[in-house]
């Protein structure tokens, strides 16, 4: 009788060890699979959710993740639409940490680049506020006049929608500025 109890105890220990091994393997497999997740897939999992983004200009922007492109995301605050190049993102956080990461990115993402998005804004002649990566938070207001492969030309003019607020060094002069797209932190339009 005593031996049977010992054998049952040993059998229970073996089963518990096997279960722990299976759990560890599952956790290890999940971590290995997560290594393959791209930032774009992570964004796609948050599509339609509120996120917070800190840019290289030091500004934290918050809004609903409305669109994902090749190297950019677009947030909507209700009042503004904000296009943010991925290269200008220092960090971001989301409310929905449990969102399924492996989603169909193609169904939720545009295939065009930041330059293409700037081209669309140029064609629409949308007044924009462009925030640039610089030691002082530099902004330009106006309309995108032309788009090159790695720059935009912007016709400067203080835009009516932006005159109410400006917490950065905003250039209120007129003329044309050539801005490398690599220095753009955000392009803001008003709804």
Tens digit of each residue's pLDDT (9 = 90 or more) over 50-74: 999 999 998 999 999 999 999 999 9
pLDDT at residue 168 in the model = 47
pLDDT at residue 90 in the model = 95
Alpha-carbon distance of 190 to 17, in angstroms, equals 60
Burial degree of 75 (CB within 10 A; 0-12, 13-18, 19+): buried
Tens digit of each residue's pLDDT (9 = 90 or more) over 85-95: 999 999 999 98
Q: What is the pLDDT along the chain (191 residues), one digit of tens a residue?
A: 677 887 787 778 878 888 888 888 888 887 787 788 888 888 888 888 999 999 999 899 999 999 999 999 999 999 999 999 999 999 999 987 666 666 666 666 888 999 999 999 999 998 999 999 887 778 899 999 999 999 999 999 866 544 444 444 455 567 899 999 999 999 999 98
State the distance between the two ends of the chain, measured CA to CA, in whole angstroms: 80
Q: Say if strands 169-171 and 138-147 run parallel, antiparallel, or are unpaired.
A: parallel
CATH fold label, 39-190: SH3 type barrels. (2.30.30)
> What sign does the dihedral 35-38-43-47 (CA atoms) show?
negative
Residue 48 corresponds to which tokens in the numbers above? 């339609």
pLDDT at residue 69 in the model = 93
């Amino acid at each position: 009788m005593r031996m049977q109890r010992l054998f049952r105890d040993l059998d229970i220990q073996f089963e518990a060890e096997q279960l722990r091994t299976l759990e560890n393997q599952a956790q290890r497999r999940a971590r290995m699979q997560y290594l393959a997740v791209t930032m774009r897939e992570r964004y796609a999992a948050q599509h339609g959710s509120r996120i917070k983004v800190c840019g290289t200009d030091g500004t934290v922007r918050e809004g609903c993740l409305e669109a994902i492109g090749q190297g950019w995301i677009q947030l909507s605050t209700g009042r503004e639409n904000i296009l943010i190049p991925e290269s200008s993102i220092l960090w971001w956080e989301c409310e929905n940490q449990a969102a399924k990461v492996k989603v169909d990115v193609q169904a939720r993402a545009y295939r065009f680049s930041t330059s293409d998005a700037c081209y669309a804004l140029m064609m629409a002649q949308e007044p924009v506020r462009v925030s640039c990566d610089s030691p002082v938070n530099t902004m330009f207001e106006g309309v995108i006049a032309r788009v090159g492969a790695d720059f935009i030309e912007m016709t400067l003019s203080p835009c009516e929608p932006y005159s109410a607020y400006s917490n950065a060094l905003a250039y209120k002069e007129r003329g044309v500025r050539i801005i490398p797209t690599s220095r753009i932190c955000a392009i803001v339009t008003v709804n």
